[in-house]
A and B are shown apart, each in its own frame.
Chain A
Amino acid sequence: MSARHLYVHLPFCASRCGYCDFVTVVGQDGRHAAYVAALLAELELEREALAPRLESVFLGGGTPTLTEPGALARLLRALPPAEEVTVEANPETVTPELAALLRESGVTRLSLGAQSFQPRLLEVLERRARPGDVRRAFSLLREAGFDNLSLDLIYGIPGQSVADLEDDLSEALALEPEHVSAYELEAKPGTRFTYAHGPELARQADAMESYFERVVARLTEAGYRWYETANFCRAGSRDLRSRHNLAYWRGRDYLGLGIGAVSTIAGLRWRTTPRLGRYLASLQSGERPERELEELPAQVQSSERVLLGLRLDEPLSLAGLGDAVDATALERLERLGLVARAGGGLTLTERGRFLGGGVTAELLA
């Protein structure tokens, strides 16, 4: 078994946004080169886990585009070629030089973290980019020849009104991105953000209940396909779904490189240490960095297939997954019009997709 999908984590950020819970590193500019060297060393150690031809590579962060350009270029050139190569970018980091570098290095797709177009809300999120940065980055990338751009939006921001949300959607649509990811803000317990904004979010909870519906309605009306719970792509002859992310939702194996990165291959999942120092030290001495292992028994793998597969708009084939689904719950959910069965496959109805978490929890045996 070998993975056809590769994730590479680039943790460096100029500052940490309050709501973020990814593994990030701030103020370690001097270590970019060392980190990239370590990534490449790790790649060599894991090479046999990768298929000779990859379908997708995804550089996520952190802020991958903050990585020192020389190091970033070295990394991109050293990575195995793939049909889809996506890099996450923060709008304020996009320059003509960066756009050219990415283009020359085989990147096919950019995912821009716009989040919102309201300066006030960007401040709440502690984002550095201003609305102008998003528009500017977009045109720079277009000029550089990128024809597959994705925008990230966040809704449910403290203080976000319905008008703010509608305006964000209009601004996003005006840029005509090939792909949009729209996430509800998650205020994770214990974070600085939740401490600061939790009470306000709780007050707004009722008012914001309709935001998800609005997001879906606006984007689908504008001709986007709601292909995954939080992801949309322009419908048409080109399949603009994120191939890399589809691999996760379809339960494919993937290899992750870098601190805090997760891999899942042949029923085994592991997470590399999130500690930069240890990661670098291990790889400098030619050893694998520490990892946290999780075995996935067949039953768990089936459950995950259901929980991931039902996020998609395509039917989930239940072949071999029968044990993972509670038949009584399935019937009840069908009666409630939340789940539909067709030709051995299972999909959520539109309403079922809005309630996908709860529906899946109930459906799992």
Chain B
Amino acid sequence: MEQALIRNFSIIAHIDHGKSTLADRILELTDTVTGRDMRAQVLDSMELERERGITIKAQAVRVTWKGHELNLIDTPGHVDFTYEVSRSLQACEGALLVVDAAQGIEAQTVANAYLAIENDLEIVPVVNKIDLPSANPDGAAAEIAELVGDTAEHVLRISAKTGDGIAEVLDAIVERIPPPAGEPQAPPRALIFDSSYDQYRGVVAFVRVVDGSFSAREPLRAMAQGTRFESEEVGFFSPTMRAAESLGAGEVGYVITGLKDVSRLRVGDTLTSERTPAAEPLPGYKDVKPMVFAGLFPTDSDDYPDLRDALERLKLNDAALFYEPETSQALGFGFRCGFLGLLHMEIVRERLEREFDLDLIVTAPNVAYRVLTKSGEEVEVHNPSEMPREIERVEEPYIKASIIVPKDHVGQVMELNTERRGRFDHMEYLSEERVLLVYELPLAEIVLDYYDQLTSRTRGYASFDYDVIGFREGKLERVDVLIAGEPVDALSLIVHRDGAYARGRMLVDRLREEIPRQFFDVPVQAAIGSRVIARETIKAKRKDVLAKCYGGDISRKRKLLEQQKKGKKRMKQVGSVEVPQEAFLAVLNLDGNKK
């Protein structure tokens, strides 16, 4: 296809603002799928995506419109996937920015719009759901125009549900978005913007060809990693895989690599031909650093190899996922995993449980810390139990949070952010009713239950998004928990000095409730260094007898003791104290902390 006739675009929208429905209508109107084949929301292929209404993995679909080849590159809607969004956006020249006519702009819309603008994308603003009785297309159009620096008249008004205005959207894509600029005759270069793993065909790379062209049975090389392979097939999605002779400059499609090891092909790398290699790779993506960490442990320790395999498989499709083996005194063998954010963590956990049928314990998440030790060494800490005790300085990640709320809830949001060590940045009225609040907050303050708090305090009206803006020094302390004088690695945490006492107290109280009484008094302490900040004693049992035991009772009593013995075997030994796994879970488990 002639480059001038190609348009590559994404759809940016807040969850539920109708991105998938719009994509479906585009596929229908361009006859890419017939009505009979049409499953609602064709693009969201993963089971989980369907249920959550979130698109996790980017995919690309080619459609034809009035003699043009349009490539729709799907983007995840949620902020945790900023990295993936930016990957998708780098493969495009333009983006549809879709806003719900009844809801107006949401925090995520703002973040993703800025991302598109930063990537020099042509933005086509669209107000969707104009058919809704509660729709306010003029209000939404004004907000979106203000956001992207356009005029309200220029904003398209559509209903993806009824199909109203879809043709105009396709026309606008052709008219407003520039064709790709690349050198069709230059040595081939293609950006790998995503990949997937097929059991039979190996790694499938999703690529945007920038220069030259790629065809099947051609020796190729991934420039950064140096991986060599022969392309087994090239093609595009329409919407299912269709083999093609070649993919030319400006086109979007797939390359079947036949590689069996996903780690050999990294997203962000540049493909080139072995025969006529390009001199320079394309600007790739920065390696994203995971910011949120949690331990993942199999409930049944026999499942550890399965968990390892599952993580390996997920990693194939999820470059942002990080993991390394972790051994916990309390929970056994597992992995410390790094995530882009909380939603990313939740999705990984759900995929592990659902697609791989694993039963998991997920420990309370923490953030990455940069630590300067007294000996002048700089370390990055992903696990509180690894926090050095002799600390000169600790830095923690900060975020810029955008929160959009109805003006009546501004007070509650400010109060919450103050409690969470937030620093007010600015506030603006998006409309008479809606306010954008911008705060800087430590990421650590939002990883536990910030969403829940924000939602409950604003009765669900707030929308929230954030961007990591860097590391800053914090007055942070490592709090250790000691059971009968023994520190328990899995329970260490890093908290701001002002909150240390309260958190220590909470942990100690929870443990006192959860640890059964022993044959001796068990002190449970929270301590910063050698300073105890909270203490409780689990009093020794005074009696534990089977009241009566005669001829008729013996079998039953024996079974009772056998049960008791079995229960003991399931306990974890902390020094001389037997602690049931449930006690750790109550303190550590993410769900437990939501109580």
Contacts and interface: CB of A to CB of B under 8 A. Distances in A.
A193 interface: no
B558 A332 contact: no
Interface string B532-552: 000000000111111111111
Contact of A336 (B519, B550, B552, B562): B519
A359 interface: yes
A348 to B, nearest CB: 10
Contacts of B564: 357-358, 361
B561 interface: yes
Contact of A332 (B545, B555, B561, B576): B576
A264 B549 CA distance: 14
Contacts of A33: none
A175 interface: no
Contacts of A224: none
Interface residues of B, number: 25
B561 A361 contact: yes
Most buried by B among A22, A294, A364: A364
A183 interface: yes
A229 B561 contact: no
B555 A269 contact: yes
Contacts of A212: 542-543, 545
B416 interface: no
A338 interface: yes
A308 interface: yes
A225 interface: no
A229 B565 contact: no
A183 B553 CA distance: 14
B568 interface: yes
B114 interface: no
A230 B552 contact: no
B461 interface: no
A146 interface: no
Interface string B115-136: 0000000000000000000000
A357 B542 contact: no
Contacts of A360: 561
B557 to A, nearest CB: 7
B520 interface: yes
A308 B543 contact: no
A313 to B, nearest CB: 14
B379 interface: no
B543 A209 contact: yes
B555 A358 contact: no
A308 B565 CA distance: 16
Contacts of A354: 542-545
B559 to A, nearest CB: 10
Nearest to B550: A248
B38 interface: no
Interface in A201-253: 209-210, 212-213, 229-230, 245, 248-249
A64 interface: no
A117 interface: no
Interface in A47-80: none
Contact of B558 (A245, A249, A303): A303
A260 B556 CA distance: 14
B554 interface: yes
A355 B544 contact: yes
Interface of B is mostly: loop
B542 to A, nearest CB: 5
A308 B519 contact: no
A98 to B, nearest CB: 24
Given A308-B549, A357-B561, A361-B564, A210 B555 contact: no
Interface string B479-503: 0000000000000000000000000
A184 interface: yes
Contact of A355 (B541, B549, B550, B558): B541
Interface in A251-302: 254, 256, 260-264, 269, 271, 294, 300
A186 B547 CA distance: 8
Contacts of A304: 554, 558
A294 B548 CA distance: 21
Contacts of B555: 262, 269, 294
Contact of A356 (B544, B558, B560): B544
A127 interface: no
A211 to B, nearest CB: 8
A311 interface: yes
Contact of A260 (B550, B552, B557): B552
B543 A300 contact: no
A307 interface: yes
Nearest to A294: B555
A9 to B, nearest CB: 8
A7 B554 CA distance: 14
B118 to A, nearest CB: 62
A171 interface: no
A359 B547 contact: no
Nearest to A23: B552
A338 B519 contact: yes
A248 B543 contact: no
Given A210-B542, A212-B545, A336-B519, A262 B552 contact: yes
B556 to A, nearest CB: 10
Nearest to A228: B549
A194 to B, nearest CB: 15
A268 to B, nearest CB: 12
Contact of B548 (A230, A356, A364): A230
A351 to B, nearest CB: 8
A133 interface: no
A7 B543 contact: no
B568 A361 contact: yes
A205 B561 CA distance: 21
B406 to A, nearest CB: 46
A295 to B, nearest CB: 11
Interface string A316-348: 000000000000000011001010000000000
Contacts of A355: 519, 541, 543-545
A262 B544 contact: no
A340 B519 CA distance: 15
A362 interface: yes
B565 A364 contact: yes
Given A355-B519, A362-B565, A364-B561, A213 B551 contact: no
A183 B542 contact: no
B550 A245 contact: yes
A254 B551 contact: yes
Interface string B338-373: 000000000000000000000000000000000000
Contacts of B576: 332
5 contacts: A229-B549, A230-B547, A308-B549, A355-B541, A361-B565
Interface of A: 7, 22, 181, 183-186, 209-210, 212-213, 229-230, 245, 248-249, 254, 256, 260-264, 269, 271, 294, 300, 303-304, 307-308, 311, 332-333, 336, 338, 353-362, 364
9 closest A-B pairs by beta carbon, nearest first, are A361-B564, A358-B544, A262-B552, A361-B561, A355-B544, A212-B543, A184-B547, A183-B547, A357-B544
Interface of B: 519-520, 541-552, 554-555, 557-558, 560-562, 564-565, 568, 576
